[in-house]
Chain A
């Protein structure tokens, strides 16, 4: 089975706090990609990052950082010093390649509320 689990339905933090969004995935494919997307109130999902299954290096982009651990099948996302503009729904997604499918499997999303 291929599945993405985002156990945190909603998180509220006060501005400037750090926050980590969890993502756990399941796949039998050996080659796959993992993604994070942000969905602001406008509705349009915006790409944040892509990681392939062979690259476990952590990545930092400004206030955003991602921790990919194959051993625990997790791909967590941390926002440092959160801002009100970070308020959105965040989706983790899996794109398996070995099985020849052409689809993403999305998690159910985590709604982040950053309070001023």
Chain B
């Protein structure tokens, strides 16, 4: 069974640009969540989707958005990039229940110059 796939693996952008990150969950998993990881801050929850609906959202500005498609694949978008958005963005999937263990992708390393 293929794991969680995130693309691209690395991304370099400049301030003010926008970026879209993609996540393909494990087959059969309907829940996809996104996390931002920065040194010293650990993993910060961005949002979680289930069956194309956002079930919960973390404390991030509106520049961060996401969506989920009918095949459970998910994308997250960051508009008007700032230097502080440089981070590792991790996607995780699970079947459906919030108490289940998460399966993580290798992440997208975003650098904003």
Partner of A105, one of B45, B102, B104: B45
Q: Taking the complex as formed, is B56 at the interface, i.e. its CB lies under 8 A from any CB of chain A?
A: yes
Partner of A95, one of B3, B98, B103: B98
How many residues of B are counted as interface, with CB atoms below 8 angstroms from the partner's CB atoms? 28
Nearest chain A CB to B96 CB, angstrom units: 10
Nearest chain A CB to B39 CB, angstrom units: 9
Judge whether A104 and B45 touch: CB under 8 Å.
yes
Judge whether B98 and A102 touch: CB under 8 Å.
yes
How far does the alpha carbon of A46 sit from the alpha carbon of B92 in the complex, in Å? 11
Q: Taking the complex as formed, is A101 at the interface, i.e. its CB lies under 8 A from any CB of chain B?
A: yes
Nearest chain B CB to A74 CB, angstrom units: 18
Judge whether A95 and B99 touch: CB under 8 Å.
yes
How far does the alpha carbon of A33 sit from the alpha carbon of B101 in the complex, in Å? 10
How far does the alpha carbon of A44 sit from the alpha carbon of B103 in the complex, in Å? 9
Q: Which of B31-51 contact A (CB under 8 A)?
A: 31, 33, 35, 40-45, 48, 50
Partner of B90, one of A45, A103, A108: A45
By a CB distance below 8 angstroms, the chain A residues around B25 are none
Judge whether A91 and B42 touch: CB under 8 Å.
yes
By a CB distance below 8 angstroms, the chain A residues around B40 are 108
Judge whether B102 and A107 touch: CB under 8 Å.
no
Partner of A44, one of B31, B43, B44, B107: B107
Please name 17 further chain A to chain B contacts, defined as beta carbons within 8 Å, in addition to the given A91-B42, A102-B98, A109-B42, sorted by A numbering.
A35-B101, A42-B106, A44-B104, A44-B105, A44-B107, A46-B104, A50-B101, A91-B43, A102-B33, A102-B56, A103-B45, A103-B58, A103-B98, A104-B45, A105-B45, A106-B42, A108-B40
